[in-house]
């Protein structure tokens, strides 16, 4: 049975946090620095084991906050289910979220790579707290699909102290082959709300994400994407590849992008080497490396692709084809669509 939390202990937490929050915005002030540092130390001490038990129960729930260590998700690198974050990480992220003006409920922040990450819901809540900020009307375009993600045009109007104002922005969003329109718009909303908040408050809100999206996205002119062989099971036939719809056609049918002319002619699947062939690698990792080498894909480019598309955790930690997890290579071998996208992206 959970230990009860005393009301005075909760009021003490609120008092400590409020004292620190009241000093924020004092530009270049040591008062602000020491107030936040004192609040961090005091809150770490004031959070009781009973409180910590509640905070831990809120993680990986949208009623509380999501993390990248959901114990229901299989971690391919560890070959086991994720282990949720422990008390120290959760405590410090809860404290940081509170001092940055968001709640620990309603998915207003996430824990990613053991850091506090303010979400779309969090920035929306922060905007609503700005005095005399009213009539906020955001709008977002249909995502324009690009290599590595999509581009979303964002716009909003509002009034501040009764005066109308507006903002426009072009937001680049990272995504993989399976990302949908709603996913891209959600990412764009979060980035756009953050920019609006920073403009209105004159602050630069720290960000907990490692964002390499702009470097990964590039619009391609018609005809730039060429077909490539696939790392596929022996049962896959060239005829099946040639009749499969291209990504360009699928995007056009979904209304996400205009059709870009005739689809490139597909290259027949290269048959797998026989088990007794002299040149056949003995491991699945070696087979993948040989196929990629024949297709003109270096290990560095493959590793970057695997990391950017979030198919392989800690992709930078692998130094060669043989280091890759066998289970990851086996799964990729069965996913002909993704391996074809990888070759196209890494050789275009």
Alpha carbon 337 to chain centroid, angstroms: 21
User: Is the pLDDT at 68 greater than 80, yes or no?
Assistant: yes
User: Is the pLDDT at 216 greater than 80, yes or no?
Assistant: no
- pLDDT bin (cut points 50, 70, 90) of residue 92 is very high
Dig out the tokens for 76 from the structure: 């391919």
Q: Report the percentage of the chain scoring pLDDT > 70.
A: 75
Residues in CB range of 289: below 8 A, 6 or more apart: 281, 299, 320, 321, 322
User: Is the pLDDT at 26 greater than 50, yes or no?
Assistant: no
- pLDDT bin (cut points 50, 70, 90) of residue 218 is very low
Question: For residue 53, what pLDDT is reported?
Answer: 94
Chain segment 149-175, per-residue pLDDT in tens:
889 999 999 999 999 999 999 998 888
- pLDDT bin (cut points 50, 70, 90) of residue 313 is confident
**CA–CA dist 7, 13 (Å, integer):** 10
Given the structure tokens 């005399």, which residue do they identify? 132
Point out which residues pair with 144 in neighbouring strands.
Answer: 151
Question: For residue 23, what pLDDT is reported?
Answer: 60
User: Is the pLDDT at 51 greater than 90, yes or no?
Assistant: yes
Question: For residue 275, what pLDDT is reported?
Answer: 39
**CA–CA dist 346, 216 (Å, integer):** 11
Residues in CB range of 319: below 8 A, 6 or more apart: none
Instruction: Please provide the DSSP assignment of 75-123 as one string.
Output: ETTTTEEPPPP-HHHHHHHHHHHHHTT--SSSS-EEEETTEEEE-HHHH
Instruction: Please provide the DSSP assignment of 157-178 as one string.
Output: EEEETTEEEEEEEEEEEE--TT
156 sits in which H/E element: strand 149-160
Radius of gyration of the chain (CA): 25
Select from 50, 92, 290, 298 the least CA-distant residue to 208: 92
**Average pLDDT of the chain?**
76
- The answer to whether the CB of 53 falls within 8 A of the CB of 108 is no
- pLDDT bin (cut points 50, 70, 90) of residue 315 is confident
Question: For residue 29, what pLDDT is reported?
Answer: 61
pLDDT-wise least confident of 46-50, 57-61, 159-163, 305-309: 305-309
Cα 228 to Cα 265, 276, 284, distances in angstroms: 9, 26, 20
294 sits in which H/E element: helix 284-295
Q: Which residue has the higher pLDDT, 219 or 73?
A: 73
Select from 71, 52, 49, 51 the least CA-distant residue to 60: 71
Question: For residue 122, what pLDDT is reported?
Answer: 94
**CA–CA dist 211, 96 (Å, integer):** 20
Question: For residue 245, what pLDDT is reported?
Answer: 37
pTM of the model: 0.58
- pLDDT bin (cut points 50, 70, 90) of residue 336 is confident
3-state secondary structure of 241: helix
Dig out the tokens for 69 from the structure: 């260590």
Chain segment 227-276, per-residue pLDDT in tens:
333 454 433 333 333 333 333 343 333 333 333 343 333 333 343 433 33
Q: How far apart are the first and last CA of the chain?
A: 60
Q: What are phi and psi of 111, to 5 degrees?
A: -110, 115
- pLDDT bin (cut points 50, 70, 90) of residue 28 is low
Residues in CB range of 46: below 8 A, 6 or more apart: 9, 12, 13, 16
């Amino acid at each position: 049975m959970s230990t009860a939390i005393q009301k005075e202990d909760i009021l003490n937490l609120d008092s400590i946090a409020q004292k620190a929050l009241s000093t924020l915005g004092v530009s270049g002030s040591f008062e602000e620095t020491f107030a936040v540092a004192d609040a961090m130390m005091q809150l770490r001490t004031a959070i009781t084991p009973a409180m910590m038990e509640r905070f831990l129960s809120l993680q990986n729930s949208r009623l509380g906050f999501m993390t990248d260590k959901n114990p229901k998700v299989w971690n391919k690198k560890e070959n086991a289910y994720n282990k949720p974050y422990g008390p120290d990480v959760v405590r410090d992220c809860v404290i940081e979220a509170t001092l940055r003006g968001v709640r620990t409920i309603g998915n207003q922040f996430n824990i990613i790579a053991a850091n506090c990450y303010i979400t779309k819901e969090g920035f929306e809540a922060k905007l609503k707290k700005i005095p005399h900020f009213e009539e906020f009307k955001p709008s977002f375009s249909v995502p324009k699909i690009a290599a590595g993600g999509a581009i979303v045009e964002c716009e909003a109007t509002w009034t501040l102290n009764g005066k109308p104002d507006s903002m426009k922005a072009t937001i680049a969003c990272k995504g993989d082959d399976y990302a949908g329109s709603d996913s891209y718009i959600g990412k764009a909303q979060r980035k756009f709300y953050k920019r609006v908040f920073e403009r209105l408050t004159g602050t630069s809100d720290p960000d907990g994400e490692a964002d390499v999206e702009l470097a990964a996205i590039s619009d391609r002119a018609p005809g730039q994407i060429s077909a490539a062989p696939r790392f596929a099971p022996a049962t896959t036939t060239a005829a099946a590849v040639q009749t499969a719809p291209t990504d360009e056609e699928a995007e056009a049918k979904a209304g996400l992008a205009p059709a870009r002319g005739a689809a490139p002619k597909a290259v027949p699947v290269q048959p797998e080497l026989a088990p007794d062939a002299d040149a056949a690698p003995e491991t699945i990792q070696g087979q993948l490396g040989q196929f990629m080498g024949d297709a003109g894909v270096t290990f560095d480019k493959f590793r970057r692709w695997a990391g950017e598309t979030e198919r392989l955790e800690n992709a930078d930690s692998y130094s060669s084809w043989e280091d890759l997890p066998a289970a990851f290579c086996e799964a990729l071998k069965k996913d002909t669509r993704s391996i074809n996208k990888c070759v196209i992206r890494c050789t275009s």
